[in-house]
Amino acid sequence: MASQFKIRRKVEFVETDMAGIVHFSNFFRWMEACETAFYQSLGLPLISFNPGKVVGWPRVNVSCEYRAPFRYGDTVEVRLLVKEVRTRAVVYVFQFRKVVRGRPEAMVSARGEITAVCVKNDPESGQMISAPIPQTVRAKIKVAAEKSRAR
């Protein structure tokens, strides 16, 4: 189960900037890729266009702390932890570690956080409105969260 909360990525050339390191904005792209993989591990779609259903998880708050840079060719482990499951939102924490000789370093090179709210399409207005997280989705995320804390 644990493996479903982690992804590995290799730093790509296009992700670097003229300072020779991964541009700070790309860490948010990686968090989202990890979140997608997490959802997939639970058998949940990150976004769904079925009418009246959960259609997405827009972000209301994101942040990232950078302690050590990543460079072209580095392999990075991104680890997702469920920090909090609210009625209409989930808070994720992400830890970024450099992988050296196949293993993630102890040191966390960067730490991110995303608060995503559950929204559905309102058939009347045609707008996206926030909605309570459906019970089945909540249950799956909570189980994952407990397993993750138990480790």
Applying CB under 8 A, the residues found at the interface with a copy of itself are 10, 12-14, 16-21, 23-26, 28-29, 32-33, 36, 45-47, 56, 58-67, 69, 71-73
**What type of residue sits at position 120?**
K
> Least distance to a copy of itself from the beta carbon of 31, Å?
9
Please enumerate, as own/partner, the contacts of 133-139 that have beta carbons within 8 Å and a separation of 24 or more. Answer: 133/54, 133/85, 133/87, 133/88, 133/89, 133/90, 134/54, 137/44, 137/54, 138/85
99 or 142, CB closer to a copy of itself?
99
Beta carbon of residue 150, minimum distance to a copy of itself (angstroms, whole number): 29
- Take residue 131 and report the two structure tokens written for it: 């909605």
Cβ neighbours of residue 79 closer than 8 Å, sequence gap 6 or more: 5, 6, 34, 94, 95, 96, 97, 104
Looking at beta carbons only, is 68 or 143 nearer to a copy of itself?
A: 68
The distance of closest approach from Cβ of residue 151 to a copy of itself in the complex, given in angstroms and rounded to an integer, is: 26
Shortest gap between Cβ of 88 and a copy of itself (angstroms)?
15
Please identify, using beta-carbon distances, which residue of 15 and 77 lies nearer to a copy of itself.
Answer: 15
Residue recorded with tokens 């994101």: 62
| DSSP symbol at 122 | -
Nearer to a copy of itself, 82 or 117 (CB): 117
